[in-house]
Amino acid sequence: MVGRESNNGQTEGTNGINFSAVEFEELAAIVAERAGVFLSAHKQREIESRLYCRFPYIESLDGRALIQMVKKSDSALQNLINSLTIGESYFFRNRPHFAVLKEHILPDLIRENQRHRTLRIWCAGCATGEEPYSIAMLIEEHFSELHSWDLSIIATDVNTSFLEHAKRALYGPWSFRGVGQAVLDEYFTAKGEKQYQLRDDIVEAVEFRPYNLADMPYGDEFLQARFDILLCRNVLIYFSFDLANEISAALADRVNPGGYMLVGHADSFPALGQLQAIYQGGTYYFRKPVRSDPAPRNRRPSRLEIIPGIGVDPTGRHLAELADHALAGAKKRMPSRLPRFGFDEIPPVDSGGDRVSELLDQARDSADQGDLETATELLEELAQGGGRVDHRVYFLKAIVAEQRGQIPSTVASLKQAIFLKRDFVIAHYYMGVICEREGHKKDAMRYFRNTNRLLREHQGDWAMDEAEGLSAEKLAEIVENRLKELQLDLEVEQR
Ligand SMILES: C[S@@+](CC[C@H](N)C(=O)[O-])C[C@H]1O[C@@H](n2cnc3c(N)ncnc32)[C@H](O)[C@@H]1O
C-alpha cells in the first residue's frame, strides 16, 4: 500500500491514481482515440496502479489532474500510451510462423522477386524488437543471398520506450524462452547479470520507427510503401473489434500482390477475408492473391472467418467452398457458408423444426451479407421461440454478436451453446479464442484443453467436422500450438 497526499490535503492509503467512473471513461476515450487501445472498465484498479508508477511526479492522486495533464502535454500523452500498452514479446514467438517463413514464404518471395531483388518486411507492433530481430536472424542464418538484395525490415510501435529498448537490443532471459542455446551463442554476448547483447549486424538490419496503427484507417504519413511480408501479431487484440477490423483491412492493403501477412492467433479479423488464408505446419497465414492466380470461386466473405484457424485449407481455398462442392450431391440445401457444425446429428428443436432451420438459414444469409441487425432479430426470434433451442442458434448468435463488437453477449451465447451441447467442440475452441483476445489466458487454456479433450474422445468419428472440411487433426494441432504459447506467457506473468 502506498500513501500519498490527495488533492484535498489528506493522505490516502492507495496504490493508484484515483479515477471516478466518469473520469475513467474519459481516460479510456483518450487512449482509444490516440492509440486505439481499448481500456476495459474491469481493469480500472490495475490501470490506476500502473499509472501511479509511471507518473511518479504527479502531485495529487486525482485522475482529473492526470487527464488535464495528458490533454495539455504531448509528452504526458506519450507517457500515458507507453504505460498502457502491453509489450510482451520473445524471440521466435510462435515457432510455426518462423517455420513457414523459412520453408515457404521467404523461398517463394526470393523466387518471385528475383527480377527486382527487393524485399520489404514490416513488423507492426514490434514491442521491444524480438520479432523483427528474429526475422533478421532467420534471414542471416538461411537466406544469406538476400544480403545483396535491397532488403528492408521496418519495425514500428506506438510505445516509444519499447522502441528505445529495441534499439538498445539488450535482453533478459525471458526474451529467450523457447529459444535454444545455439541462438544465444551465435547472436548474443552475455553482458552483466543475465543480460544479453544482440550482435551489431542484426541490430543494424532493422529500422525502428514510432507508428500508431490507429492512424491507419485515416491515412498515414510515412508508410506509403507496400510490403512483401507484413507481421502484425498479438497487437489488434487490444483494440475494439471495429477498429481492429478496419486496421486489418488497411494492413492487408499494404501487402504487395503475392506478398504475405502473418497475424497472431487471436488477431484474425473478417477484413482479412480479402486475402488467401493458408494452413501449413500447424499454423495459418495469409497471402495476397496476384492477378495470374486462378480465379477464386465466387465467394462471399464468411462470418466463419471470424474464428481464427477455421475454414481454410492448405491450398488457401475456403474449406466451406470445398464442403459446398463435396456435399453438393449429399445435401439438398446449402444456402450459406456460416457454420453448420453438428448439423446432421441434432434434431433442430422440439417443435417447428423446419421453421427453425429456415429461420436459421435466413439469419446466416443475413449475417453473410453483413446485415447483422436482421440476423440478430431472426436469432432473437429463434431463441425466444419456445421449445428447446438448439446450440446452432446460440453459436450463430455468438458470431453475430462478436461481429457487432458485443463481447459479453458473444460469451453468453457461446456458454449457452456449450450448455446445450457439451461436446460442441468448435464452441469450446471459439470460447478459447475469445478469452485469449480478452486477456483471460487461464480461461483460454481451459477451453483449449476442453477442445483437445473432446477431439481425443471423438477420434476417428468426428463426422461433423469432416462435413465442414475442418479435420480434428488440424484443429488439435492449432490448439496444441496455442496451449504452448499461452503456457509460456503465463510463466512470464507469474514471475
Ligand atoms: C503484445 S505486443 C506484441 C509484440 C510482437 N508483435 C509479438 O507478437 O511478440 C503488442 C504491441 O502492440 C503495440 N501497440 C498497441 N497499440 C498500438 C498502436 N495503436 N499502434 C502501434 N502499436 C501498438 C504495443 O505497444 C505492444 O508493443
The residues spanned by each domain of the chain are 2-84, 95-306, 331-493
pTM of the model: 0.73
Task: Please give the pLDDT value at position 325.
Answer: 32
Phi, psi of 450 (to 5 degrees): -60, -45
CATH superfamily, with its number, for domain 95-306: Vaccinia Virus protein VP39 (3.40.50.150)
Specify whether the CB–CB gap between 454 and 308 falls below 8 A.
no
Find residue 171's DSSP bridge partners: 196
Closest Cα to atom 3 of ligand 1: 234
Lowest-pLDDT range, 48-57, 65-74, 108-117?
Answer: 48-57
Pick the CATH number of 2-84 from 3.40.30.10, 2.40.440.10, 1.10.155.10, 3.40.50.11060: 1.10.155.10
Pocket of ligand 1 (CB under 6 A): 35-37, 85-89, 93, 125-127, 131, 157-159, 162, 212-214, 233-235, 238, 264
3-class state of residue 206 by DSSP:
strand
Number of neighbours of residue 414 by Cβ within 10 angstroms: 28
Separation between Cα atoms, residue 459 and residue 423, nearest integer Å: 13
Q: How far is the CA of 251 from the centre of ligand 1 (A)?
A: 14
Residue carrying C-alpha cell 489528506: 10
Q: How far is the CA of 145 from the centre of ligand 1 (A)?
A: 30
Residue, of 189 and 460, whose pLDDT is higher = 189
The CATH architecture of the domain made up of 331-493 is Alpha Horseshoe (1.25)
Q: State the cell numbers at 115.
A: 527480377
Separation between Cα atoms, residue 256 and residue 269, nearest integer Å: 19
Separation between Cα atoms, residue 9 and residue 18, nearest integer Å: 15
Lowest-pLDDT range, 75-79, 113-117, 287-291, 292-296?
Answer: 292-296
Q: Tell the burial category of 290 from Cβ atoms under 10 Å away from its Cβ (0-12, 13-18, 19+).
A: exposed
> Does the pLDDT value for residue 488 go beyond 50?
yes
Strands (E) in 65-211, as ranges, are 118-124, 150-157, 170-171, 188-191, 195-198, 206-210
Q: How far is the CA of 277 from the centre of ligand 1 (A)?
A: 23
Tell me, what amino acid is at 398? A
Q: State the cell numbers at 28.
A: 479510456
Q: Tell the burial category of 51 from Cβ atoms under 10 Å away from its Cβ (0-12, 13-18, 19+).
A: buried
Q: How far is the CA of 370 from the centre of ligand 1 (A)?
A: 29
Specify whether the CB–CB gap between 101 and 209 falls below 8 A.
no
Specify whether the CB–CB gap between 398 and 358 falls below 8 A.
no
Specify whether the CB–CB gap between 425 and 457 falls below 8 A.
no
Residue, of 98 and 477, whose pLDDT is higher = 98
Task: Please give the pLDDT value at position 153.
Answer: 97
- Tell me the pLDDT tens digit for each residue of 237-292: 888 778 888 899 999 999 999 999 999 877 777 788 888 888 787 788 999 998 77
Average pLDDT, the chain: 78
Specify whether the CB–CB gap between 462 and 421 falls below 8 A.
no
Separation between Cα atoms, residue 247 and residue 113, nearest integer Å: 27
Lowest-pLDDT range, 168-172, 212-216, 320-324?
Answer: 320-324
C-alpha 404, offset from chain centre: 17
Q: How far is the CA of 85 from the centre of ligand 1 (A)?
A: 7
Distances in Å between the alpha carbon of 228 and those of 126, 187, 206, 263? 17, 25, 15, 14
Substitution candidate for ligand 1 out of 85, 215, 220, 489 with most atoms within 8 A of CB: 85
Q: Which atom of ligand 1 has the smallest separation from the CA of 88?
A: 1
Separation between Cα atoms, residue 121 and residue 155, nearest integer Å: 8
Closest Cα to atom 10 of ligand 1: 235
3-class state of residue 5 by DSSP:
strand
Residue, of 179 and 321, whose pLDDT is higher = 179
Closest Cα to atom 13 of ligand 1: 125
Q: How far is the CA of 216 from the centre of ligand 1 (A)?
A: 14
Closest Cα to atom 14 of ligand 1: 125
> Does the pLDDT value for residue 335 go beyond 70?
no
Closest Cα to atom 11 of ligand 1: 125
Q: How far is the CA of 209 from the centre of ligand 1 (A)?
A: 13
